Structure formats: C-alpha cells, structure tokens
Amino acid sequence: METAISTVLFIPTVAVTVLLFAAVIRRLLGVRVGPARTLAAGLLAMIVTGPIMVAFAPPDRTSVTAGEAFLLILAAASVAALIAMALLVILEVLLPTGSLPGPVEIWRGARRRIARTRRYWSIVRIALRHGLGRFLRGRPAPGPNSAAARRQLARSLRAALDEGGVTFVKVGQLLSTRRDLLPAEFIDELTALQDQATPVPWDDIAAVLAAELGEPVEQVFAEIDREPLAAASVAQVHAARLHDGTDVVVKVRRPGIATVVERDLDILSRLADTLEARTSWGRSFGARGLALGFAEALREELDFTVERDNLQTMAAALASSPDRGVRVPAPYPAFSSERVLVMGRLPGTALGAAAPLLDGFDDARRERLAAGLLDSMLDQVLVHGVFHADLHPGNLLLDGGNSLGMLDLGSVGRLDAVTRNAIGRLLEAVGRGDSVAASDALLHLVDRPDHVDERELQRAIGILIVRYAAPGSTAGVAAVTALLRTFTSYGLGVPAPVAAVFRAFATLEGTLGLLRPGFDLLGQARAAGGRRIAEALAPAHLRDTLEKELVALLPVLRGMPRRLDRIGETVEHGRLRFNVRLFSDDQDRRLLTGMFHQALLTVIGAAAGVMAIMLLGSGDGPQISTGVGLFPLLGYSLLIVSVVLVLRVLVVIFRSD
C-alpha cells in the first residue's frame, strides 16, 4: 500500500519538477525552443540535480541547517539548469529547431517517400529501356555528334516522355517550344507529342460532375453527350445543352490526376536539381528554373477556375480592341469549379483539321485571317498585357466566315506596363533598323548581369536585324532562336513572362503559316507596329495621353509650391538636414551581422578558453563522484566549447569561397 502511495506521489512530483525546470530554462534562454527539447533539458536538469547536490553537501550532513539545505538545493538546481541550458544551446547549434520533423511528419514523409521511390524507379526503368541512362549520370553520348545520332536520341527521348505519362508529356511539349535550348531534331520530334489519352468511363465523369455541381447531371443540363468530344491527359470535353437551349461544352478534370501530377512534379523537381548539380547541360539549360516554371504552369492548368478567369479577362480585352475576327468562348461561372468548366460552344473546325475548308478560301481571305490573328496577338501583348501563350492549330477553331475562336486558356501570359512598353520600343527599333534602341529595349526586358559589353551587344543585335528583319525575310522562328541564343551568350537572363512572349510568337508562326503559307510574320509585325506608332502620334490620341498625364501630375503640381516654400523656410532658418539611412540594403546588413557574429564567436571562444584554463588550474573543487571533480569537468567542457567556437571562425576565414 505504501509503495503504491509513494509511486502515485512520485510521478506528479517528477512531472512538476521537469515542467518547472523547462519553464525556467526557456525563460532564461529568452528564445523559442521546441517543446520536446525543452522538456528533455528539464528532465536532464532534474536527473543531474541529485549528484550535484550530493557533491556540494558537506561530509557531516547532520549539521546542515534548514537554510543551508535550501541554499544547497538552490545552488545544485542552478548548476543543473546551467548545464542543461549549455547542452540545449549546443544541440541548437548542431540541430536547429525545426530541422527534424515530428512523428506525424515522419510517418507522412515515409509514405510519400515510398510512393516517390516506386515512381522514381519506374521512370528510371523507362529511361534505361530507351537508352537514356547515361544522360542521368551526366555522361556524354558516345560516338560522333551527327544529325542522325541526334535524331535517334530525339526519338528515344520522345518515346520515353510519352511512356512517362501526363507530366512528362507536358514537359516534352514545353521543351518543343525552346528552340534556344534544343537542336532542330529534338524540336521536330517533341512537337509530335500528342496530349491524348483513353477516355474516362462516363460513370466516373458523372460522379465528378455531381460532386462539383452539387446536384445530378440531369438537373443541370438538358442534354449531355456521354461520348467525349476530346480526351486529353488532363481533362476531357463533353458536348451539352443547358435547359434554356444554349449549347455548351463541359470540361472535366480526370479523376485522380492531381495526385499523379503532384507526385511527378516532386520527382521532376528533384531530378532537375540533380541534373543541374551533376551535368553541364543541366546547368546550361537552367533545369531547376525550368522545372519550377513548368510546375507552376501545370498547376494552373489543373485548376479550371484559373481558366475561367482567363476567359473572362480575355473576352474583356478583345471587346475593348478593334474587331480582329478573334473570339473566345464565354464561361458560365455558376456551373464552373476547380474540376469542372462549362463554357459556350463555338462553331467551327479545329484549324489543324481545317485544310479542306482553307483550300476553298482565296489568298486575300486567308491573308486577312492571318493578319487579324497577328494583330489580335499584338493587341494582347502590347495593349492589354494578357495573351494566349500557346496558339497552336489545335487551340484555334475556324468557322465558315472570317473569324477564329481561341480555346484552352488554362495558361496565359501576363505582362506589366513597363515590359509592354519595352516590347513596343523593341518592335519600333527593329522596324527602323536601330540596333542601339533595340539593345536598350532588350536590356529593359532581360535580367542583366553586373557587367555586360553593351557595344558588343549592339553590334550583335545590329547583325540580327540586318539578317532577319530586312524586308522580304521570312525566318521568324530562326530570328527568335538567334535572339535567345544571343541572350545566353551575353549572360542575359530571360524572365519567364518575356520568354513566354517569344515562345508564343514562335508557336504562332507555324499557325500563321497554316492559315496563309508564306506569311511574313516579321514584316507584318513591323507594319502593325508602325500602325500603332502612327495611331499613338495621332492628335486625338496625343490629346488623350496628355490629359491623362496631366491628371496624374495634378496632385504633385498642386503640392509643389507648398513644398518649395517649406524648403526655402528651412534653409533660411538653418534647419535643413539630410537623413541618410546606413545599411538600408539587405546585403549590407547581412555582411555587418555576419562580421559581428564572427567577432562575437571569437570573443566568447577566447573567454571560454581562459575560463577553462583557470578552472583546470584551481584544483578539483567539489567532488561529483569518486575521482571526478566539478572544476575539471567544467574546465574541460569550456575548453571543448572554446575549441568548437574558434574552429567555426577559422573555417569561415580559410574557406576558399
């Protein structure tokens, strides 16, 4: 009975003691430390308090008064807390709080790691089966680098990406637009990748529709075709009719595709990190940046609310511009969600399959269609800053009249006013053949390094203008490729929105060539840019621009006399002062903080070394156990701390980078 009572009383006492030590240690440290570490430090302090108190106690313990016993306990507890705090600080240096996951995170991470490993080995087997294993190890291709060898390698890459599934098919489609990175053989093969998939059974599609719309499909649509119009790897499209008789199309995301894509994106990100770290071609491609941009674009494509908003934005932009004969379907937000998009059905035939219809058009009509599409694209880029980033023939519908319908706005490009202005100045400079103005506009578009030879860049741009922008030249894609390679050779980084513009026009050239064979993209772009410049210089437009600028400047002009009067009065009375903020830049603050930390570590390490020498020369002090004194223990501990701190400073001083 007494044993049970003692146990019942002992457990709460230990718990209270540990919590008390933990609270004191956290308060004394003054920083947030993980609760598990704090409780562990409190438990350690409680364990070592007993031996320390025994070491502090005099040999004749019967003569110890109550006050002396209290002071003895307080001293032992203080030393124990200090030891626990020191160990906690050392643990924070070695393993900072948050660097180790908790039990729940470990369990979830293990499950994700197992699934990722299975998928990773599946991808590796696909790569090995198609002869791509040596590239994962960073080894160059054996034998001569001939066009035939590159073509065979491109076929193997296309087959591997096609077998890899939706994410890797999308990767191949993205790479097919990067003519600045890949040879022509790879571009030709990757362009042939088709984003097609086996249709999902209707019961699964109906379940998704019911879950997203909140009611059975029959109550939302008067009719819906159970056979899809098209089935891609991300979604499939069904024709339907609303109860008011409006013909619509219903775009439904494939069930479970988001989980597959997220797993593959995680693997793709890790693979890109590995390729950039271990291979020269991965570093030259910027594999990590490509993977991040691709992941963001693909996640947007999976979220149909993004496409719904893009449709509304694009419709408003087209409505505010002159009629170029280009339309977009109207979305129905009430019936749309993240996995379902309902939009109006545009009449027409996909441009890729409209060759018989185009053959019936005369050259002038085909020229008008192509010019209208190019003008619309220029309006989107230069005026509205929202443009369709992938206008390939499959994303355009051709009706029997003189209009085109744009589809698949899941991923659009967006440009700010400064970028739009720089692109406009670039087109204007190319039209005039002014390489100096063109290079200035380009430097406003790209991420420039610390040092760039602007004179050499101007000469390179001038050569490109003479070669590709001369009247009669039709080398549109070649011009874009040469320009992007010029960026790379001068160390100029192309921001993602600007790269999207170049890719969009490179893709658009093939579409324009299908509408009107031999269509001069650069010549028409120069002409369209000239028309826009003439419109901008028209008296009515200049008056509107001047009025807008004056309205924007009016508050500044209104407050200018008052500010000048205050400055004059301050100068007159000798109260003019200049306030300069030192170390306002983040890099300066980081440099100063790093230097201060190194100096502080040096001082603390030296002080700990001096204290260690003094303690080691002061005898044994109180005995903690047989043969172990307190002073040598503390001295050697401080000596270890001193050596560690000094080594931390020295490794920073002698580090080569």
Instruction: Give me 558's structure tokens.
Output: 């209104």
Closest by CA to 189, choosing from 169, 219, 165, is: 169
User: Of 70, 69, 44, 66, which Cα lies nearest the Cα of 58?
Assistant: 69
Phi-psi region of 286 (alpha: psi -120 to 50; beta: other; left: phi over 0): left
- The residues assigned a catalytic role are 390
Neighbours of 466 (CB within 10 A): 12
Burial of 29 (C-beta count, 10 Å sphere; 0-12/13-18/19+): middle
**516 contacts 363 by C-beta, under 8 angstroms:** yes
437 and 390 Cβ atoms separated by less than 8 Å: no
Ramachandran class of 325: left when φ > 0, alpha when ψ lies in -120 to 50, beta otherwise: left
The Cβ of residue 509 has, within 10 Å, a number of other Cβ atoms equal to 21
| 291 and 272 Cβ atoms separated by less than 8 Å | yes
β 404-406/396-398 pair status: antiparallel
Contact of 56 with 72, CB cutoff 8 Å: yes
State which amino acid sits at residue 106.
I
Structure tokens at 149: 């060898």
The pair of structure tokens assigned to 60 is 């004749």
Amino acid identity for residue 365 in this structure? R
Helix (H, G, I), strand (E, B) or coil at 388: strand
SS3 231: strand
CB 507 within 8 A of CB 413: no
Q: Do 232 and 302 contact (CB within 8 A), yes or no?
A: no
- Residue 46 has a CB neighbour count (10 Å cut-off) of 20
Total Cβ atoms within 10 A of residue 105 = 10
Dihedral pair phi/psi, residue 435, rounded to 5°? -70, -30
Structure tokens at 237: 């499209």
- Distance, in Å, from the CA atom of 446 to the CA atom of 211, rounded to the nearest integer, reads 45
Instruction: Kindly provide the b/e burial profile for residues 591-612, where b requires at least 16 CB atoms within 10 angstroms of the residue's own CB.
Output: eeeeeeeeeebeeebeebbebb
Task: Please state, in angstroms and as integers, the Cα–Cα distance from residue 446 to each residue in 60, 148, 418, 436, 441, following that order.
Answer: 83, 35, 12, 16, 9
User: How many Å apart are CA 409 and CA 307, to the nearest integer?
Assistant: 5
> Does residue 166 contact residue 233 with C-beta atoms inside 8 Å?
yes
CA geometry: angle 330, 336, 337, nearest 5 deg: 140
Residue 637 has which token pair? 């501990």
The position carrying tokens 């489609």 is: 173
String of DSSP letters for 243-279: TTS-EEEEEEEPTTHHHHHHHHHHHHHHHHHHHHHH-
